[in-house]
Amino acid sequence: MKLRALADALRSIVGRAGVIDEPARLLPYESDALALFQTRPALVCLPRDTQETARSLRLFHQEGIPVIPRGAGTGLAGGATPVEGGVVLSTARMRDILEVNAEDRYARVQAGVVNVDLTGLCARHGLLYAPDPSSQMACTIGGNVANNSGGPHCFKYGATTRHVLGLVIVTAEGEVLDLSEPLVDPAGYDLVGLFVGSEGTFGIATEVTVRLVPKPPVVEVLLALFTSLEDACDSVSEIIAARLEPAALEILDKLTIEAVEASVYAAGYPREAEAVLLVELEGSEVEVAGSARDVLAILERHRPIEVRRARDAEARRKLWAGRKGAFGAMGRIAPDLYVADAVVPRTKLRELVLCAVEICRARNLRLANVFHAGDGNLHPNICYDRRDADEVKSVLEAGHLILEACVKAGGSLTGEHGVGLEKLAEMELLFTPADLHAFCRVRDAWDPERHMNPGKLVPMRACMEIRQAPIGAPATHAPIPAAANVAKGARP
């Protein structure tokens, strides 16, 4: 089917507002927040609900067209980067909150609902949706499901997968799979758990049922200022070792502080500090008072310049605005930002943070560290200019070496951003060929023709190898998307 005929057929399903095919309007869809890899899609489809999504996917399946699911485009691993000739299917128009059940503590929402909007609506019931990515003001629940997103408060509450009770999924063939009813102990395989974190390679979630938790009665934030990043890291390790359970533990280094304080996100972090540690405590009055006493004692042993305390809602909001606006503030340092995402044992925070610093220093790259310290989830942010080919090569090399060091230390490749295009090559650092083959078999069970987000999550070589010895009916070889070649070829 010709592109114009395809666009016309789509308009009959989703309406004129649901199709974008003008070249200028396609530009924002060339990449997600990892702008290093860019491919313009053939067109963009924006259905309003499950049925429109199903009809659209049936059309794409019939025509053999690759489909790239996209939420708000805030992903940092290239998971929503199109492939040549592919179609982006965006959930941006699926913005309805279908139900908030305060008694049973769950909500049903369409996939395009913005994370912070759900949180705001639940607040009137004394409830909250706990996972809160730093991009909370823009990211969508469907995108959070695709990447199993984390956030500052996932130290206490866990990542997205712990809060998803049910899904309505549309498969590559356009079949609607309703797994939406929240059951205490569902029978059979946990398909919902399997789908969360699949990065759009199994299908598209159009509706999500999420768990809600009570808002804590008392919340206090401690801001500890340190003369060294090492002292901040060691404080976190000791807090964990003492079996204390803050709601969040976040660290920002000096370069990050400077960027934040020069931006609209300025939170009053003193520029003379080499690092700041945010510790959020919550619970009853007695619980918060006891936890604060214990945490303060640990902080004092690591010689902070000062420890500030904030209970007032506005004061706490300002401190968190600085943390959550950190990535946006980095534009004051360089035009581009490579945000690495790895998890390490918390006892090795100091070691791996310093390792990242040395890797970047050896390549004359500017590094800003801001990370979910409580989870051991590091985010070394490498500032660069993608117009400089040599600098891009150095950034990719540094990113690979940082991930390699984290895996060797007993860590993982991603804590919340996903694999996407960015970490395809590094998957072979963490998984054996047998592991990757198993991933490919699962993927084939959901999408045997691999039209859904091709070239993401699993190295294409592993999937091609499994195609050569298929189980059951023979399958044709899937083409290797151009963007995936770029991503693998760019690695050392």
CATH number of the domain bearing residue 9: 3.30.43.10
Whether residue 340 lies inside any domain: the answer is yes
Residues 224 and 318 placed together within one structural domain of the fold: yes
Residue 251, number of CB atoms within 10 A of its CB: 27
Q: Whole-model pTM?
A: 0.91
Burial of 152 (0-12, 13-18, 19+ CB in 10 A): buried
Residues 82 and 102 placed together within one structural domain of the fold: no
Question: What one-character DSSP code corresponds to residue 437?
Answer: H
Strand pairing category for 87-90 and 43-45:
parallel
Count up the domains in the chain and report the number.
Answer: 5
Whether residue 423 lies inside any domain: the answer is no
**What's 312's domain CATH number?**
3.30.70.3450
Whether residue 361 lies inside any domain: the answer is yes
**What's 147's domain CATH number?**
3.30.465.10
Q: Given the structure tokens 């300025």, which residue do they identify?
A: 266
Amino acid at 99: E
Residues 166 and 239 placed together within one structural domain of the fold: no
Phi, then psi, of 18 in degrees rounded to 5: -95, 5
Output the pLDDT for position 197: 97
pLDDT means per 10 residues, the chain with 492 residues, are: 94 98 97 94 98 98 97 97 97 97 96 96 96 94 97 94 96 96 74 96 98 96 96 96 96 96 91 96 97 98 95 88 89 92 94 97 96 95 95 97 97 96 95 95 95 93 57 35 36 33
Amino acid at 325: G
In this structure, what token pair is assigned to residue 253?
A: 């280094």
Residues 71 and 147 placed together within one structural domain of the fold: no
Residues 316 and 243 placed together within one structural domain of the fold: yes
Residues 314 and 230 placed together within one structural domain of the fold: yes
In this structure, what token pair is assigned to residue 336?
A: 């581009």
**In the structure, how many helices (H) and strands (E) does the chain have?**
18, 20
Residues 227 and 306 placed together within one structural domain of the fold: yes
Last residue of a domain, one of 300, 328, 356: 328
Whether residue 428 lies inside any domain: the answer is no
Whether residue 40 lies inside any domain: the answer is yes
Residues 210 and 227 placed together within one structural domain of the fold: no
Residues 285 and 384 placed together within one structural domain of the fold: no
Residues 17 and 77 placed together within one structural domain of the fold: yes
Nearest Cα to Cα of residue 385 among 331, 326, 423:
331
Last residue of a domain, one of 214, 243, 272: 214
Last residue of a domain, one of 275, 300, 328: 328
Domain, as residue range, for 349: 336-408
Whether residue 422 lies inside any domain: the answer is no
- Pair 210, 109: CB distance under 8 Å: yes
Residues 44 and 141 placed together within one structural domain of the fold: no
Nearest Cα to Cα of residue 41 among 11, 3, 12:
3
Output the pLDDT for position 471: 33
In this structure, what token pair is assigned to residue 139?
A: 């990211």
454-490: pLDDT as tens digits = 999 999 776 765 555 433 333 333 333 333 333 333 3
